[in-house]
Amino acid sequence: MKKQVFFLLFCGLSLLGMNSLSAQIVLKEVTITGKTTKAVVAKEVSESFSRLFKDAVAPEWYEVNKRYVVNFIYNDQKNRAVFTKGGSLVYHLAYAVEDEIPQDIKSMVKNKYPDYAITFSVKVEQGDAKVWFINVEDATKIHVLRVGADEITVVNTLKKT
């Protein structure tokens, strides 16, 4: 009888502990599928890449979910581009430090968040659309901003601990 009481007490306390643990932080579920392998690309893809990024150096190609991903250096910046098997550009990412962000974009961010430091930025180009994702942070929080031509949207806010 004592063993059953201790067992039930242990189970109850375990469930109570699990509930309080899971109540602290709930993260969105992320599912990553696909297999990444280094790839030799088709002629159409190589020609499209060379035409779009003439002075690119150190390209590294991978095949992911029937598309080609290339990491490379262009204009002294880290870049990534995704191409279809037919050679069409799906999207292009350019990673930038604060000094490499265009002045109009940087001014918008600095005017709205004057006491924050810009700690990370990436330009996303897809078709004719161009958007910047910029992290700004102060002593207590980090804001992930989406910066378009004339607007800033807070995508996420993280509290520092």
Q: Is the distance from CB of 88 to CB of 51 less than 8 angstroms?
A: no
Residue pLDDT, tens place only, 82-114: 999 999 999 999 999 999 999 999 999 999 999
pLDDT at 11: 37
pLDDT at 41: 82
**Per-domain residue ranges for the chain?**
30-94, 96-161
pLDDT at 158: 92
Quote the CA–CA distance of 33 and 74 in Å, as a whole number: 28
Residue corresponding to tokens 């350019």: 94
User: Would you give the DSSP letter of residue 149?
Assistant: S
- pLDDT > 90? residue 22: no
DSSP per position, 15-80: HHHHHHHHTT--PPP----S--EE-PPPHHHHHHHHHHSTT-EEEEEEEETTEEEEEEEETTEEEE
Quote the CA–CA distance of 108 and 63 in Å, as a whole number: 37
pLDDT class of 15 with cuts at 50, 70, 90: very low
Residue pLDDT, tens place only, 48-81: 999 999 999 999 999 998 899 999 999 899 999 9
Element (H or E) spanning 104, and its range?
helix 103-112
Quote the CA–CA distance of 113 and 121 in Å, as a whole number: 15
Query: What's the full length of the chain, in residues?
Result: 161
CATH classification number, 96-161, choose in 3.40.50.11030, 1.10.287.3510, 3.10.450.360, 1.10.3720.10: 3.10.450.360
Residue pLDDT, tens place only, 37-50: 666 788 999 999 99
Residue pLDDT, tens place only, 125-157: 999 899 999 999 999 999 999 999 889 999 999
Q: Is the distance from CB of 48 to CB of 89 less than 8 angstroms?
A: yes
Structure tokens at 16: 């109570």
